[in-house]
Amino acid sequence: MNLVKSGSVVSVLVGSVLLVPLLLLAYSQCIWIIQIIRLIQQHWVISSFLCLSIYLVHWLFLVPLDLNKKVEDVGWKYLPSGKLKAQEVNRIRKYREIGDTPPSYPNGWFGIVESRNLNRGQVLHVVALGCNFAVYRGMSGKAYISDAYCPHLGANLAVGGRVREDCIQCPYHNWTFKGETGECTSISYSKGSIPKNSKLKTYKTVERNGFIYVWFHADQELPDWTPPEEAKVSEYAYRGRTEYYVNCNAQDMSENPADNGHLNFVHDTAVFAGGEPSQIIEDWLAGVAKHELAAAWRQGKLKHTAVSTIVVNMDLFKGSGMLKSLTKVVLILKQIGPSCVHIDIETAFGKGIMIIQNIPVEPMLQKVVHTMYTERKWIQPLAKLFLYLESLQMERDIRIWNSKKYLSNPVLVKEDSSLLHHRRWFSQFYSEGSYRQKNPGNLDW
Ligand code: FES
Ligand SMILES: [Fe+2]
């Protein structure tokens, strides 16, 4: 008893001795903080400027670009802005004539989730391609994709489901399914054997280039190709991403690199004019700075691939030839299947690569994600600016895609021939069971 008492006296003494320097330290720190607050109060203009500069430098040099735009954000400049704009956009979408569009969901690999958005043990619900997917990462780090609905009583595995090792456990009655095969491994409350038809539907999944891909086929055929690994993605520095929602059929966007005719009309105005330049700005800028684009589209060596080379030059002051080599950009677009595009970028500042995924989330709604990586010698602000300017160029296409009608028998001229080659090439991604949407607009009286 005495020993205990003397022990506690010693610890109180030691504690007090240690407490004194700690209190002194805290006091000195408080004085520092108070002095800083006083300085800020006295020189608030300089202080605010300093804080803003620190934030800006941090954002410019250390934070990759992350741009997210909803369907009502691009291509509707002609509508009055304000609270009702989104409502009006939806009304226009509802009554739009979509034309005789191709099927809504082509067959192929689709990068439906960005790797950085899925941690070990995490599960996400993804609605795309007319399916509900549960996308999760097992504790081994491997990503799995299965049907979201449990074969027991239909609970959504991605809403409250738990990842156990490399299995997914249903949030309703705890049935557990293997990530790889979907086989049911445990029904904790049942003493009987596991029913044979308790298998969860799983999808072929691969993860590469910063995306988790699902294999989708309307007639359940197995993949005969896989998305290629791009070594540059791991060699280069990550510079950011952009995300857009576009109101069109999946094939509309894929046609863009084969549509040579639009390049020098949609994309010629200097990109600094923004995604939806007005006619006044377009006309005024035409004599100052103008992009000149030349493109060639061809089918690739592998039947599911296509290649398009686009050379972009900047014409300053009508043929002055100023800064020609500095502003030249060469883009090699590799279309891989129906939804994925890899763009090799060459500029005076260095090389880069862009990985693009076009994900059909609804028959007439595509999610488009661009991620960009560049050689480390590109400084971050310049690389971010490039990605941002590229997104403005895409906004010019989005303005058209959002409102156009698909014509399966268009009136073409000789110079449009690559469009037809592209359509023939793309038709390989449809099969008998491919879902085709009827025109949802109802303009008949
Ligand atoms: S609904 Fe999934 S275990 Fe019952
Ligand atoms: Fe375009």
User: Please, which pLDDT band fits residue 429 given cuts at 50, 70 and 90?
Assistant: very high
User: Please, which pLDDT band fits residue 440 given cuts at 50, 70 and 90?
Assistant: low
Which token pair is 445?
Answer: 């009286």
Q: What is the dotted CATH code of the domain comprising 66-95+231-429?
A: 3.90.380.10
pLDDT of amino acid 297: 95
CATH topology identical between 66-95+231-429 and 108-216: no
Does CATH place domain 108-216 in 1.10.20.140?
Answer: no
Smallest CA separation from ligand 1 atom 3, residue: 173
User: Please, which pLDDT band fits residue 3 given cuts at 50, 70 and 90?
Assistant: very low
172 lines ligand 1 (CB under 6 A): yes
How many angstroms separate the CA atoms of 230 and 234, rounded? 8
Of the two residues 327 and 138, the one the predictor is more confident about is 138
Which token pair is 344?
Answer: 């090799």
Question: Ligand 2 centroid to 2 CA: how many Å?
Answer: 87
Ligand 1 binding pocket mutation candidate from 123, 146, 147, 150 (most atoms within 8 A of CB): 150
How many angstroms separate the CA atoms of 149 and 162, rounded? 14
pLDDT of amino acid 444: 47
170 lines ligand 1 (CB under 6 A): yes
Q: What is the pLDDT of residues 235-263, one digit of tens each?
A: 999 999 999 999 999 999 999 999 999 99
By mean pLDDT, which of 12-21, 184-193, 206-215, 269-278 is the weakest? Answer: 12-21
Question: 445 pLDDT exceeds 70?
Answer: no
Question: Ligand 1 centroid to 160 CA: how many Å?
Answer: 12
**What are the helix (H) ranges across 247-300?**
250-254, 260-266, 279-286
Q: What atom of ligand 1 comes closest to residue 174's alpha carbon?
A: 3
pLDDT of amino acid 247: 95
Q: What is the pLDDT of residues 353-368, one digit of tens each?
A: 999 999 999 999 999 9
150 lines ligand 1 (CB under 6 A): yes
Q: Which residues of 166-187 are buried (b: 16+ CB within 10 A; e: fewer)?
A: bbbbbbeeebbbbbeebebeeb
Ligand 1 binding pocket mutation candidate from 147, 168, 173 (most atoms within 8 A of CB): 173
Q: What is the pLDDT of residues 166-221, one digit of tens each?
A: 999 999 999 999 999 999 999 999 999 999 999 999 999 999 999 999 999 999 99
- Delimit the domains of the chain by residue range: 66-95+231-429, 108-216
pLDDT of amino acid 45: 82
How many angstroms separate the CA atoms of 85 and 73, rounded? 9
**Could you give the angle at which helices 44-62 and 2-42 cross, rounded to 10 degrees?**
100
User: DSSP state, 140?
Assistant: T
Q: What atom of ligand 1 comes closest to residue 153's alpha carbon?
A: 1
pLDDT of amino acid 251: 96
Read off the pTM.
0.88
pLDDT of amino acid 31: 85
Question: Ligand 2 centroid to 254 CA: how many Å?
Answer: 10
pLDDT of amino acid 233: 97
Mean pLDDT along residues 226-232:
97
How many angstroms separate the CA atoms of 268 and 295, rounded? 13
